[in-house]
Structure 1
């Protein structure tokens, strides 16, 4: 049987000129192997998402109701691409007939994990002001008063007791996954900044953050330590998402749903990274598959998940194939987990440390060997020392070890002439650099501009900036060997 990479190549060739019908007529592509993922704890998934940040992204597909067909949309991906997603998404559901089939969802999650896909679950929970099963309209998508919400999150009240009983109903299903060694990317109270749902649109410590915290505390008390807690907002143009954040100790992954636009803006990308503060980030719902532009300019998303019927409803076969065949995208069989043992980050084999030389043979230099945020970065006569020592990392950042800070475009700027400085490393687009061996340029993908010596000056102390890439001598840089 061909390897996954070989299968991908075959499908790409077919996709260039044939229809999806011909793709699906190929010999069946089997799952990589039974038990591709043995039992793991949640830390293995968290560590994995951290390890691929900046280099790769896991493909994902959500599967909505009916619960008796929990793999129908994942199968559609395979029908179109010959690949299965690297992440399977499901839902614990809300309608009576679907809640009655939660076991089918759990069984599918186990099978997907065994075949080598990560597992994600969300829960469209019915409001505790009504019955435990409901329709979406008027049950999940409904409004309750602030006074009612306050009762839901206040211990001892009738609504709080109802809500705790509601949570208890799903514990046995999640416990089955724990017992099977299946970590779950668990995304409760999704789109917390939106008001279409009964839990949303409530910023502050007594709002959505509190009900999220209480669920985690309760599930922790039930021994559900297999849950990777995914916090989520929608790309609502009102932004101010941090007001809904339950706190670092309650969150493992910070995620965004993209519905107001096809793809997240650079502002969305930066805001999510700012809230995450180094935690993995993800695109938890999308209607439009990512394209090369998104994957190149926003490289730190760790996974994406396309929403059920939007796969075919909002994307052509060619677009879906392009996403799944992209060299940065990891599908089932390409996701490789460790054993969950925490590791200490260290420079990888292609990380390089030393001086960066440029115009007139001079070096990129931290002014006065400074260590504070905002310290100027300049051109200066090369001399051994901490001010001219840089780590060029595989995640796209360039770090000065002495300051423990990164080469940064001031204020996330994208205009010609924006100065470059030192700033606390945060993984933002302002700190991403791509070196071209052909042109010797260092390009900042967020701005689309190159590291440049202001005014082509060769004087010591000439400031560095970003400017339209020209290939001129003042934009040529030699990295450490």
Structure 2
């Protein structure tokens, strides 16, 4: 009877043990820390948009306003000629910030592979659109458009490999706002749409390029269709580690409904505020404690929040700034 009980307990525990083993095999200091603080602390972050020649501009601005540096630094590979030329400068700053103990977040506003690179913030660039025929070609291995896309991914992968060799872990947030139709990669629901390209990108960078330092962030925006989008744009649990929501609808703001949708979609994985212009208040973060970080969008954080509001959040006991981070040694 005793032996049967032991066997029964073992069978019940097998799924949870398997989940723990899966997490152990994919171990990151950064990701482990996000799991650790989920439910109690939120890291303050800031994006450093153009120019890549000055990749700590907005990090320094937050320090000027608050006397503290954000605990998360973010950069972007970008798309304009001058910013492409300064990608290594941005990457070097990522190394510097990592060594200081910051969480590193990197994204990529990329030119359409059907058009030229460099490009602009217009219909001939990042805001362009692929026809259904072009999309099918892009997501079909070995086609001219697919090869062009891979060649651009190859270049980006070289920089990420450089970070890997330096021991830098990256919250990698490509194809952000997947439910956002204004970008050429976004707004295509269904298994052959946006999520397919995300899956292909993940598999190519992981299996072909051998990148092991990437913590994959699946990111969507807070449209009125969020509940449905959190289902239809999910690329699959094996393709992402963190779920981020970009909050730009200031009328609904940090609603309980949005929070609950994201918590449910994450299924126990860390969640975050991937981008915002109005930063959450201390009280909102206490009411929604599973947000592991928020990332203010460069100049918009300064423009849409008062200095007093920014300082109050960065001084809060439930918000982590760089001086309160554990370090990655």
TM-score calculated relative to the size of structure 1: 0.61
1:286 aligns with one of 259, 268, 276: 276
- 1:337 Cα deviation from its structure 2 partner: 5.4
1:201 maps to 2:180: no
In the TM superposition, 1:12-31 aligns within 5 A as none
Q: Per-residue displacement from partner, 1:319-358 (whole Å, max 9, x unpaired)? A: 000110011000102122577xxxxxxxxxxxxxxxxxxx
Q: CA deviation at 1:107?
A: 0.5
> Residue 190 of structure 1: SS of its match in structure 2?
coil
Question: 2 CA distance for matches of 1:312 and 1:58?
Answer: 18
CA distance in 2, matches of 1:135, 1:216: 25
Pick from 257, 265, 283 the counterpart of residue 246 of structure 2.
Answer: 257
Show the counterpart of 2:220.
233
Indicate the residue corresponding to 1:182 in structure 2.
Answer: 168
Partner of 1:158: 144
Q: Is the CA contact 1:235–1:264 (under 8 Å) kept in the aligned structure 2?
A: no
Specify which structure has the higher proportion of helix: 2
Q: Moved runs in structure 1, 4+ residues, more than 3 A?
A: none
Q: Distance in 2 between matches of 1:271 and 1:295?
A: 16
What secondary structure, in the 3-state scheme, does the structure 2 residue paired with 1:201 have?
A: coil
| Structure 1 position 315 matched with structure 2 position 305 | yes
User: How far apart are 1:42 and its partner, in Å?
Assistant: 5.7
Structure with bigger RCO (C-alpha 8 Å, 6+ apart): 2
SS in 2 for 1:154: coil
Which consecutive residues of structure 2, in runs of 5 or more, have no partner in the other structure? Answer: 1-25
Per-residue CA shift, 1:143-173, capped at 9, x if unaligned? 1112211111111211111111111111111
8 Å Cα contact 1:57-1:302 kept in structure 2: yes
Find the residue that maps to 2:60 and give its secondary structure.
Answer: helix
Separation in 1, partners of 2:241, 2:327? 17
Instruction: For 1:249 and 1:73, locate their aligned partners in 2 and report how far apart those are by CA, in whole Å.
Output: 33
Matched, 1:82 2:67: yes
- 101, 104, 107: which one pairs with 2:89? 104
Q: Which structure: larger Rg?
A: 1
Answer whether contact 2:101 2:328 (CA < 8 A) is retained: no
SS where residue 274 of structure 2 aligns? strand
Which residue number corresponds to residue 375 of structure 1? none
Distance in 2, matches of 1:211 and 1:333, equals 38
Distance 1:67 1:47 in 2: 29
1:44 aligned residue: 29
Quick one: distance in 2 between partners of 1:157 and 1:129? 12
Q: CA deviation at 1:108?
A: 0.5
8 Å contact kept, 1:54–1:300: yes
Tell me the residue number matched to 2:295.
Answer: 305
Higher-strand-fraction structure: 1
The 5 Å alignment of 1:92-171 reads 92-138=77-123, 139-171=125-157
Residues 68 and 323, structure 2, Cα contact 8 Å, conserved in 1 = no
SS in 1 for 2:324: coil
> d(CA) in 2 for partners of 1:107 and 1:73?
16
Instruction: Specify which of 174, 177, 184 is matched with residue 191 of structure 1.
Output: 177
Contact 1:60 1:89 (8 Å CA) reproduced: yes
Q: Compared with structure 1, are the counterparts of its residues 42 and 147 closer, same or farther at alpha carbon in structure 2 (3 Å cutoff)? A: farther
CA distance in 1, matches of 2:140, 2:323: 45
**1:265 CA drift (Å):** 1.4
Tell me the CA shift for residue 294 of structure 1. Answer: 1.1
- 1:49/1:337 CA distance change after superposition, 3 Å: farther
Q: In the alignment, does 2:163 pair up with 1:173? A: no
Partner Cα distance (1:66, 1:46) in 2? 28
The offset of 1:141, in angstroms, is 1.1
* 1:354 alignment partner in structure 2: none
Cα deviation, 1:17-61, whole Å, max 9, x if unaligned, reads: xxxxxxxxxxxxxxxxxxxxxxxx962111110000000011100
Matched, 1:244 2:230: no
Residue 209 of structure 2, aligned match among 218, 222, 226: 222
Task: Please state how far the C-alpha of 1:293 moved relative to its aligned partner.
Answer: 2.4
Q: Which runs of 5+ in 1 are unaligned?
A: 1-40, 340-481
SS of the counterpart of 1:321?
helix
Given that residues 101 and 327 in structure 2 are in contact (C-alpha distance below 8 angstroms), is that contact kept between their aligned partners in structure 1?
no
TM-score norm. by structure 2 comes to: 0.89
